[in-house]
Structure 1
Amino acid sequence: MKKFKVFFDMEKEEQWLNRQLQKGYRCTNISGVGIYTFEKTDKRYVMRLDYQDYLSKKNFKEYRGIYEDFGWSYMNGSWLGGIKYWQKEADDQKEIFSDRQSMRNYYKRLMGYSSGLGFMLLFISFMLYKDSGLYLTEGLWSMKGALFWKAFLFETPFALLRSLPAIMVVLFVSSYFKAYRKYSMLKE
């Protein structure tokens, strides 16, 4: 079974993947464009996501080895950095972070991930809108009657597509503050 889904919040993605596992579908592949491949299984699994900044090949090998020593199977992710997907058969150890400090470090990395993507998309939004705005039809706002409405309705889907980076900024800012709140709670 294949499903297409896009997430802007790693924790929501992890929860969704674990709900699929509870329904009896084990994830076998995750593409970079949001296509998840599942297969039916009778075994119980648990899945966890981690975000890592750039890791050298040596550090990535050590990172992967530590988790594999505890029974986790590496599913997907680049050794260069990004989201790492881990899965294993369910047992008494279902978490990949063993203490408060490792959880704090995870949320700190997640804040960096969210803010980095948010700033990049904010820059892209600025570049898209700085000269022209959302609607590009020349003279649109001076048109009258039916001509205005035809041009406006024709242009609106394109304007919505051009606004997508700005919408994504809001989603990543929300993800940042969610991670910050959890980071702060673990600090106490």
Structure 2
Amino acid sequence: MKKHSVREQIVETASRLFYKQGYHATGINQIIDEADIAKASLYQHFASKEDLLVEYLTRKGIETNAALKAEVAKYNTPEEQVMAIFDLLAGLSASHEYYGCNFLNIVSELPVENERVRAIIKKQKDDVRALFSSILHPIHREQLADELYMLFDGALITNKVQGAQWPFETARNIASKII
């Protein structure tokens, strides 16, 4: 088994804790303890907890965008591709290790003034909007990208509140009617 670098141990531990517990509920000492590292090691790689959050969100953004694009690539028509995105959300949320959208979870904890972290979250959300637009381009329906994006994020938020699958099913049904 390959041993992770100290930096990777820190990022993996912080990512798991930020996702499961939230940013504010996760302390530096907990990250240090669970990563089984020295405090100096953490600060050698990350000057602050926020720097660690930036790394987590940046990686999750890349990972999320790749997963969405890979799912879309399995289908031929724009209609199938859009439906695949909503089906992917429903499938992910059925996991026992699902705690909601990484980005929406964090943005709800941040003050409006935290432009650095909000910019990363906004970029990821803009990437989702752009993906919908690119899917709809061949059928000249790019103007629906914002509506589909609202269904996407609305389903994520409503699922978080309700703890049920119906928000994804409902968003998928509405999406199928508008495209």
Q: TM-score normalized by structure 2? A: 0.30
Q: Identify the structure with the greater helix proportion.
A: 2
Q: Identify the structure with the greater strand proportion.
A: 1
